[in-house]
Amino acid sequence: MVKIEKTPVPETLFAKIWRRHVVKALETGETLLYIDRVFIHEGSRPGFVTLDRLKRSLRRPNQVIACVDHYIPSHDRHRGLDAIPDPATRQIVEDLEANAKKHGCRLFALSDPLQGILHVVAPEQGITQPGLTIVGGDSHTSTHGAFGALAFGIGASEVMLAMANQALWQTMPKIMRINIGGVLPVGVTPKDMILAIIGQIGIGGGIGHAVEYSGPAIRAMSMEQRMTVSNMTTEAGARTGMMAPDDTTFEYLTGRPEVPTGDMWDRALAYWRTLPSDADALFDAEIDIDGASIRPMATWGTSPEQVVPIDGYIPDPAKESDVARREAQKKALAYMGLKPGEKLTDIAVDKVFIGSCTNGRIEDLREAGRVLKGRRVAVPGIVVPGSSEVKRQAEAEGLDGIFRAAGLEWRNSACSLCTDANGTDTLAPGERCASTSNRNFQGRQGVDVRTHLMSPASVAATAVRGVISSERDL
């Protein structure tokens, strides 16, 4: 009798991690998926309230990672929680610290020397690793997909379930591959790349899909650059944005506090090398983009898909064939106080913000510092490092001095002006801000504030010229 061996089915990166984490699969298509890490911040308070009401505890407390980042101010850090003027906001922060202590999860508190934005702290500490399933009470949990992890944001009720069970019922999404060919031109950054992608496929282009990024332009990026792209994948409606782990990934992880050592490192590395999608794996959708064609980008409206090259013009909604998009563009123009045909480089800004989980890492600050060195800004703004560790490194390199000499404020790590959540880092109604953050929704940075998303280099150039600019305009 001849034994016929079954040929393994080629798999994608996503499918390999998914399969390894299946606890139970139903014929209906739902899968109980084991979760390796649960990331939470102050906004996860409802999850703890429900846990207490149900008299439940954390299944694996050490795998629940909490960071104080959204509701804290970036200034007056020496005052601790007293720097938060609003009692209700201060209570939210106090509750997270109390709940973390009560339930035994790991906490990067306000007073912790490693405090920072969740999506900056976890990678720099080596908590984020290839092949893990990671969920978080924040949509930008997709950031961690840059390491070859299956990472996605979840709602408040799912946060409670993930903490209590260390597993979640999920339905496997379709898989989309976005190939970025060629080489990015000089002066074009990963932020420009992801804005260009969202501008092309739209905020609904990734709905129902997990995205895997590939191609030479992706492989040429550092880990911090890759995180920028994965971070904003959620703005295209996708579940997550993943990249195959490679030597760049492994070099970044080497020696970080939470990464395995010795024989465990060798075993982990051997597994991580098996994760990239098989050469003949099939994807449900594929998109090819020429990296060499991407230019410095900036949003003009109230959605990340409303974006054009900085040397371009505000589009005319009358030329938009899709009715829904046309009406959205009209509303955006009214909110932003702009008119069709206006040149972006003629639009003056009032403030600038450099920071956030998208662009608050050391490489982002170096990029902005390089543009600002020896120059003075025409408009005020703040620079907010993504973590206390990033702050110390930036100060050791003298970047804080460059920002101060240019006329910008140097702050402490927090989400800050990415979102108007802490009550102190905010802008006045009607002000226009050039920002390195990830969302330009109405009111995102304050009531009636107008936000333009750009790269750190472009925000720095904008600060110098006082109008929307790229580094090329200098």
Domain boundaries, the chain: 13-171+247-251, 174-245+277-293, 299-473
Task: Give CA separation, 168 vs 32, 99, 137, 157, 382, in Å.
Answer: 5, 22, 13, 11, 39
pLDDT value at position 85? Answer: 87
Q: What is the DSSP string of 287-308?
A: EEEEGGG---EEE-SSSTTSEE
Taking the domain 174-245+277-293, which CATH number applies? 3.40.1060.10
Which amino acid appears at position 287 of this protein? I
d(CA 154, CA 168): 10
**Total-model pTM:** 0.96
Q: Which residue bears the tokens 């850090």?
A: 77
CB 414 within 8 A of CB 72: yes
pLDDT value at position 6? Answer: 54
Taking the domain 13-171+247-251, which CATH number applies? 3.30.499.10
- Mean pLDDT, the chain cut into blocks of 10 residues (474 residues total): 61 98 96 98 92 95 97 90 90 95 96 96 98 96 98 94 97 98 97 98 97 98 98 97 98 98 97 97 98 98 98 96 95 98 98 98 98 98 98 98 98 95 90 98 96 98 98 95
d(CA 417, CA 426): 6
Pick the CATH number of 299-473 from 3.30.499.10, 3.40.50.1100, 3.40.640.10, 2.60.40.420: 3.30.499.10
Task: Give CA separation, 120 vs 35, 187, 210, 459, in Å.
Answer: 20, 24, 22, 20
pLDDT value at position 1? Answer: 47
Q: Which residues contact 378 (CB under 8 A, 6 or more apart)?
A: 463, 464, 465, 466
Q: Which residues contact 446 (CB under 8 A, 6 or more apart)?
A: 420, 426, 427, 428, 429, 431
Q: Count the helices and strands in the chain (H runs, E runs).
A: 16, 19
Question: 13-171+247-251 with 299-473: one CATH topology?
Answer: yes
Q: Is 285 exposed, middle or buried (0-12, 13-18, 19+ CB in 10 A)?
A: middle
d(CA 287, CA 180): 9
Question: Both tokens of residue 200?
Answer: 């092309």
